């Protein structure tokens, strides 16, 4: 496989960061006219059409019949539940805080691995989870104050849990389908489920102001469709562990966008909480890399010890 120039890869990664950083800003604008369910449906109807066009041009694999139920499950957790909870929670939380809380998914992945998959979790990972949850509390405190937080805003954490479940299931099917193929079926199946919000949507689209409809159009084309295509391209040429580091830039970029486009004031506490959450998430991902390096070093040392030395 030909590796693209580093500049091209950097630009593609930057475009993904910008797309996903815009997501909470677009949601905030769309919620002025749409209910959380309507916004999720309209966003992914646009994304489904876009992904359909990409699939016709590029071509994707057909799912095996035995995998169809699991692809529907992926659509439920990755699109339906995740975005319904995300939109509902963001009615009570600022876009900047939402971008941080949504990135807490790896913390819940550790909990799912321990309680549901019965995997062994190291003391290091437990420490990272506790630190990350403390960071979540700092974000909540800095956003509205612990006493003033609306419990419905915590639905964003349920969205993070939903994304963790999606990722845990997706890993078992990643070897069967390309990233683009998985993204297409996830988007299409999730959109089908979101159609429960269809009643009243056409009339709401007609009544909504043009700027808000444009914000939803951008949501559907860029964060919900184009970013997945671009991310699939990145994953073809870069290790997942290296590529995922770029995701830590999403909350800071989202904060700048929220301050610029929405006029939000991002408090020092929210920024501090963001640092704590992202540091804990980064530490979880780094543990796997450290273990791999340690194993490689141990194997190399054993090999060298077995080589006979001349007298």
User: Each residue of 167-210: pLDDT tens digit?
Assistant: 888 877 777 888 788 889 999 999 999 999 999 999 999 999 99
CA distance 84 to 161: 13
> Does the pLDDT of residue 75 top 60, yes or no?
yes
CA distance 83 to 87: 6
On the CB side of 291, CA atoms within 13 Å amount to: 10
CA distance 238 to 8: 12
Q: What is the percent of the chain with per-residue pLDDT over 70, rounded to a whole number?
A: 87
In this prediction the pTM is: 0.83
How does pLDDT run across 129-168, given as a tens digit for each residue? 899 889 888 888 887 665 556 677 789 999 999 988 888 8
CA distance 17 to 273: 20
How does pLDDT run across 4-52, given as a tens digit for each residue? 788 888 899 899 999 999 999 999 999 999 999 999 999 999 999 999 9
Question: Which pLDDT score is estimated for 27?
Answer: 96
């Amino acid at each position: 496989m030909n590796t693209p120039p580093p500049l091209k890869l950097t630009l593609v990664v930057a475009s993904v960061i910008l797309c996903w950083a815009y997501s909470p800003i677009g949601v905030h604008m769309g919620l002025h006219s749409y209910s959380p369910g309507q916004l999720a449906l309209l966003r992914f109807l646009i994304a489904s059409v876009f992904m359909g066009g990409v699939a016709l041009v590029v071509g994707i694999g057909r799912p095996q019949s035995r995998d169809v139920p699991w692809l529907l499950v992926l659509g439920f957790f990755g699109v339906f539940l995740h975005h319904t909870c995300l939109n509902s929670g963001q009615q009570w939380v600022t876009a900047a805080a939402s971008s941080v809380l949504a990135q807490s998914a790896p913390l819940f992945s550790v909990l799912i691995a321990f309680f549901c998959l019965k995997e062994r979790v190291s003391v290091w990972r437990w420490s990272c989870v506790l630190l990350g949850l403390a960071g979540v509390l700092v974000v909540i405190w800095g956003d509205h104050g612990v006493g003033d937080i609306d419990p419905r805003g915590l639905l964003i954490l349920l969205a993070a849990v939903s994304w963790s479940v999606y990722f845990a299931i997706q890993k078992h099917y990643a070897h069967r389908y390309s990233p683009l193929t998985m993204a297409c079926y996830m988007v299409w199946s999730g959109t089908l489920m979101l159609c429960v919000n269809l009643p009243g949507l056409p009339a709401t689209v007609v009544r909504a102001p043009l700027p808000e409809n444009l914000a939803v159009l951008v949501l559907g084309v860029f964060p919900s469709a184009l970013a997945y295509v671009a991310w699939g391209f990145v994953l073809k040429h870069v290790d997942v562990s290296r590529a995922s580091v770029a995701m830590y830039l999403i909350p800071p970029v989202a904060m700048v966008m929220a301050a610029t486009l929405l006029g939000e004031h991002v408090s020092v506490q929210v920024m501090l909480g963001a640092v704590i959450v992202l540091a804990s998430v980064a530490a979880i991902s780094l543990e796997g890399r450290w273990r791999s390096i340690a194993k490689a070093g141990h194997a190399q040392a054993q090999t060298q010890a077995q080589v006979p030395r001349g007298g």
